[in-house]
Homo-oligomer: A and B are copies of this chain.
Amino acid sequence: MSGLPTAWYNVIPDLPSPLPPDLPGPGGGTPDGLVPQIPVGLVRQELSRAAQIPIPAEILEHYRRFRPTPLKRAAGLEQAIGSRARIYYKYEGGNVSGSHKLNTALAQAYYYRQAGATRLVTATGAGQWGTALAYACQAFGLECTAYMVRSSHQAKPYRRVLMEMLGAEVLPSPSPRTEAGRAVLAADGDHGGSLAIAMTEALQSARAEPAARFATGSGESYSILHQTVIGLEAREQLAELGETADVVIASLGAGSNFGGLAAPFLREALTGTAKTGPRCVAVEPAACPKLTRGVYRYDFTDSSASGPLQKMYTLGHAFAPATIHAGGLRYHGTAKIVSVLREHGLVESVAYPQNPVLASGALFARVEGVVPAPESAHAVHAAIVEARQAPPESVIVFCLSGHGLLDLAAYDDHLRGVLPDYELPEAELTRSLASIPALDLETTEAIGVR
């Protein structure tokens, strides 16, 4: 098996155009005007011009417990669909958090501890990120508090138990512990919560304790950096098999899973040492197709429009995602790095409704023996679609970013035929896009962007 990379790949200096700078929102920061305090170690990574950023030894030691992750030939799947292409998948679900999120959680816990934090506070919906952060915190001797959307807290008790087992304190949000939570509960004592409320609570709670910090799972450029271990390993593992990727596929939430897989495969194309790279395909739910149907504009990163603005592919911050099982793919925006790559035509995207996606996930479980998370099943489905139309001898690689053993309710609904397919209607898209702010001339001139 290939070795573990000792450096992350920093794609930022290789991008065809620089990342557009962020703009402060009316609140100056995130919801309620609270800005997370990012440790200097992470800030430095975002500003670095080095293509290789060494992975600190302490992080490597933890990576070694589950990395390198396997790259497997999906021989059973190839046979089942009569593929003439060879299909490989990189499996990131074999760690305790069950997904790729642990790659950045460990790095974040390390840098936050280095900056003097003793507790990380976060918001979690389905609980995948919360689980990764809980493990990372105990690995680096930090306390962890997770505000979990109350409806998930009740509907997904297993994820809560897992976080608690890993030493985290898990509070259903809205909670009586924060001002924001108390305000919501005063109006409605049975409020089911939302990720926005949980995030505000986590921020307030982190602010109330001097050595506590708020940590977030994806979307930031540093989380894509940390996730490049996926693509770096996959490239090396393919090379050892004498293979070169023609198509690289990953699902797209905010962008860290897709970016972490794709960026290392694009390096030669970006640096001009090769004319083209492999086709890189981001897969989205039809219910939230920001890269496929969104626009490249400055928009708020948070739904309350109080935080900073980033230039990104967005559906509009007012976008209200439908309740789909791929809870991790419902964010309205896209990481800046992925957005720049898309704008320059270096990556493409495709969107699918959830029933065909889960059908492909169930097929994969039967023929490959791994149950994909609903998010990851998007990549499985796209790989199948690509394999069916690929020229013979093509090589397709996708990231199976997580297992779905705690998401079996999704498959149950699908198998019983009670799952609606949801495609974002044109009218709703138009309304949602209208929430994107028009920047005045002064602002755009000051920052030198259109």
> A158 and B405: CB pair below 8 A?
yes
> A96 and B369: CB pair below 8 A?
yes
> B165 and A365: CB pair below 8 A?
yes
Q: Is the interface of A mostly helix, strand, loop or mixed?
A: helix
Known: A1-B1, A65-B369. A161 touches B415 (CB 8 A): yes
- In the complex formed, the residue of B with least CB distance to A135 is B369
Which residues of chain B come closer than 8 Å to A95, judged between CB atoms? 369
How far, in angstroms, from A412 to B170 measured CA to CA in the complex?
A: 13
- In the complex formed, the residue of B with least CB distance to A162 is B408
Residue-wise, chain A 108-147 has the 8 Å CB interface mask toward B (1 for contact) of 0000000000000000000000000001001000000000
Which residues of chain B come closer than 8 Å to A162, judged between CB atoms? 371, 405, 408
> CB of A433 within 8 A of chain B?
no
> B94 and A165: CB pair below 8 A?
no
Chain A, range 26-64, C-beta contacts under 8 Å to B = none
> B409 and A406: CB pair below 8 A?
no
- With both chains docked as a complex, state the minimum distance between the C-beta of A416 and any C-beta of chain B, in angstroms: 9
Which residues of chain B come closer than 8 Å to A370, judged between CB atoms? 96
- With both chains docked as a complex, state the minimum distance between the C-beta of A417 and any C-beta of chain B, in angstroms: 12
Residue-wise, chain A 401-428 has the 8 Å CB interface mask toward B (1 for contact) of 0000110110110010000000000000
> B366 and A161: CB pair below 8 A?
no
> B94 and A94: CB pair below 8 A?
yes
- With both chains docked as a complex, state the minimum distance between the C-beta of A381 and any C-beta of chain B, in angstroms: 15
> A165 and B371: CB pair below 8 A?
yes
- With both chains docked as a complex, state the minimum distance between the C-beta of A148 and any C-beta of chain B, in angstroms: 14
Other-chain contact of A406, B66, B405, B411 (Cβ < 8 Å): B405
> CB of A327 within 8 A of chain B?
no
> B94 and A366: CB pair below 8 A?
no
> A65 and B368: CB pair below 8 A?
yes
> CB of A5 within 8 A of chain B?
no
- With both chains docked as a complex, state the minimum distance between the C-beta of A413 and any C-beta of chain B, in angstroms: 9
Which residues of chain B come closer than 8 Å to A176, judged between CB atoms? none
- In the complex formed, the residue of B with least CB distance to A362 is B165
> A166 and B65: CB pair below 8 A?
no
Which residues of chain B come closer than 8 Å to A366, judged between CB atoms? 135, 138, 165-167
> CB of A356 within 8 A of chain B?
no
Chain A, range 161-213, C-beta contacts under 8 Å to B = 161-162, 164-167
> CB of A20 within 8 A of chain B?
no
> CB of A278 within 8 A of chain B?
no
Which residues of chain B come closer than 8 Å to A1, judged between CB atoms? 1
Known: A366-B166, A369-B65. A161 touches B96 (CB 8 A): no
How far, in angstroms, from A95 to B371 measured CA to CA in the complex?
A: 10
Known: A1-B1, A94-B94, A362-B165. A412 touches B157 (CB 8 A): yes
> A165 and B415: CB pair below 8 A?
yes
Which residues of chain B come closer than 8 Å to A369, judged between CB atoms? 65-66, 95-96, 135
> CB of A13 within 8 A of chain B?
no
> CB of A353 within 8 A of chain B?
no
- In the complex formed, the residue of B with least CB distance to A414 is B165
Across the A-B interface, the 4 shortest Cβ-Cβ residue pairs: A96-B369, A161-B408, A161-B412, A158-B408
Given A96-B371, A157-B409, 19 new contacts (CB under 8 A): A65-B368, A94-B94, A95-B369, A96-B365, A98-B405, A135-B366, A157-B412, A158-B408, A161-B408, A161-B411, A161-B415, A162-B405, A162-B408, A164-B415, A165-B366, A165-B415, A166-B365, A166-B366, A167-B366
